[in-house]
Homo-oligomer: A and B are copies of this chain.
C-alpha cells in the first residue's frame, strides 16, 4: 500500500481520551454505582444518544439550548445529542408507561454532550449516573433516595461527607408568608448564589430582579441561614412557616425524612439541613439533596437531586411524579485523584508471566490458563525477550506479581513468584500443577 497523506492525530476541544490509568478507576466507580443501585432494585435502561431535536429543545434552560449539539441527519430530520439523562427519561417514561408500569425504578449511566465554554475547565462530553423512582409521591422513596446517596459515597470509599437536605415546600411556605410566592423563581435564583456571593449581594439581587423590599429580602435570608445537623433547625423553621399549610407540610416532611434516614442507619453527623439550597428552580417541588465532600467542599455537590411533581408533562397526559439524584462521576473522579484515593495502575491483571524460555510458549500459556480458571488475572508477555525488559514493563504497568519460569525452572518443576512491590521472591513447586501457585498468589493478594 502506498503511504497516505498523514492526518494529525488530535481530539476536539473539550473532548478527551481516557487512558487506562484513568479508565480503570472510572470503571470501578461505574461498577460501584451499579452495584448500589441494583441492591435497591433500580433497573438499568438505555436511550439513544440522538433524539429528535423537538424532544430536547426548550427542556432545560436557555443555556442547554445554546449548548446543544444539533444537526440535520441524512434523512433531513432535525436531531440533537442528549445533554442530560432526565429529558430522555421523561420521553422514555411517556412512551413506555404501559409497558414499564409504576412504581418504576431505573438507573441510567451514559454519556451526554454540551458545547460548554471550555475555558471554565469543563468538558463537552461527560458521563452521567442517574437513578430515579417514578410514579409515587411517597415519603419512602424520598428516604430511599437519601439512603442510596449515602450508600454510594460509602461504597466508593468516602467516610467524611455531608448530605444537605431541604424541601422546596419550606421555601415556598416562607415566600408565601413574606408575600413573594409569585416571584419565587427570581427569589430562588438569587438565593442559590448565597454560598458564592454572600447575603448582601443576594439581597440586592432579590430587590432588583424580584422586586422584593429590603425587609422581605431579609426575612428570606433569615430563613436561608437556618441550618445544622440536629433537630434544632427544624424547630427554628416551625414559626417561620406557621400559617402556611405548604410550609408546614414541608417542615413535617423534612422531619420525617431525617428520622427515616437515621432509622435506616445514616449517622446524624452526615445529615445537614440547609434551607438555602434551591437547585434547578422550576424543576423541583419537594425534597432537595446535595452532597459535599468534607475535604473538598469547594468542588461543589457530587451527588444532587430531589423530588419533582410531573416529569413527563411535555410528552404525556398522565402526571408522573418522581424523585431521584445524579452522581457527578467525573467530578468525583477528579476529587479522588486530588485526595490521593487512586492508585496509578495501568493493568487490571495482577500477575505477569515473563516469556523468556523461547521454546516454552505452550507451557506458559497452559499455566496462565490454569491460573485464570482459579480467578487470577494473568498476562503472558507476548514476545520472548530479555527478562529485564519484561520486568520493566511489569513495573510500568503496575503488575503486583511476576511468575518467573526459565528453562531451568521448567526442568526442575518449580517457579519463582516475585512480589514486585517488596522485591521478595519465593520458589514454588509446579509438580502438582498450578494449584499451589494459585493458592500462594491468592494469599499474597489478600495481604
- CA–CA, A99 and B4, complex, Å: 25
A113 at the interface (CB under 8 A from B): yes
0/1 interface trace, chain A 372-416, chain B, CB 8 Å (1 if under): 100011111111000000000100110000000000000000000
Report chain B residues within 8 Å CB of A41.
347-349, 352, 377-379, 397
Given A9-B91, A372-B151, A377-B39: A44 touches B17 (CB 8 Å cut-off):
no
Q: Contact check: which of B9, B50, B260 meets A55 at CB < 8 Å?
A: B9
- CA–CA, A103 and B347, complex, Å: 12
Q: Contact check: which of B7, B11, B115 meets A54 at CB < 8 Å?
A: B7
B92 and A349 within 8 A (CB): no
Report chain B residues within 8 Å CB of A75.
13, 115
Report chain B residues within 8 Å CB of A369.
147, 264-265
0/1 interface trace, chain A 360-375, chain B, CB 8 Å (1 if under): 0110011011001000
- CA–CA, A101 and B317, complex, Å: 57
Q: Contact check: which of B8, B101, B138, B151 meets A396 at CB < 8 Å?
A: B101
Report chain B residues within 8 Å CB of A20.
43-45, 100, 106
* Nearest CB in chain B: distance from A70 CB, A: 8
A133 at the interface (CB under 8 A from B): yes
B48 and A15 within 8 A (CB): yes
Task: Give the bracket for the number of chain A residues in contact with chain B.
Answer: 35 or more
A348 and B43 within 8 A (CB): yes
- CA–CA, A101 and B397, complex, Å: 10
A105 at the interface (CB under 8 A from B): yes
B372 and A39 within 8 A (CB): yes
* Nearest CB in chain B: distance from A325 CB, A: 15
Copies of this chain, whole number: 2
A44 and B71 within 8 A (CB): no
A432 at the interface (CB under 8 A from B): no
B151 and A12 within 8 A (CB): no
Q: Which of A94, A346, A365 has the most CB of B within 10 A?
A: A365
Given A50-B113, A141-B382: A17 touches B366 (CB 8 Å cut-off):
no
B315 and A8 within 8 A (CB): yes
Report the nearest B residue to A105, measured CB to CB: B379
A314 at the interface (CB under 8 A from B): yes
B144 and A52 within 8 A (CB): no
Given A38-B348, A38-B349: A382 touches B44 (CB 8 Å cut-off):
no
* Nearest CB in chain B: distance from A239 CB, A: 28
Report chain B residues within 8 Å CB of A125.
48-50
The 10 residue pairs across chains A and B that have the minimum distance between CB atoms: A41-B379, A71-B71, A20-B43, A263-B362, A41-B349, A38-B348, A15-B48, A9-B95, A18-B46, A9-B315
Give 17 new A-B contacts, CB below 8 A, not counting A19-B99, A39-B378, A41-B377: A1-B282, A9-B55, A12-B73, A16-B48, A17-B48, A23-B46, A39-B349, A40-B349, A49-B125, A50-B113, A103-B381, A140-B361, A140-B365, A140-B382, A143-B365, A264-B366, A264-B369
Q: Report which A residues bind B (CB closer than 8 A).
A: 1, 3-4, 6-13, 15-20, 23-24, 26-27, 34, 37-52, 54-55, 69, 71-75, 77, 79, 81, 91-92, 94-96, 99-101, 103, 105-106, 111, 113, 115, 125, 133, 136, 138-141, 143-144, 147, 151, 259-260, 263-265, 282, 312-317, 346-349, 352, 355, 361-362, 365-366, 368-369, 372, 376-383, 393, 396-397
Between-chain CB contacts (< 8 Å), 25 pairs: A1-B282, A9-B315, A9-B316, A11-B47, A13-B75, A17-B46, A23-B46, A24-B44, A26-B46, A27-B34, A27-B44, A39-B349, A40-B378, A41-B379, A43-B348, A49-B111, A50-B125, A69-B71, A71-B72, A101-B396, A103-B393, A138-B382, A140-B383, A264-B362, A264-B368
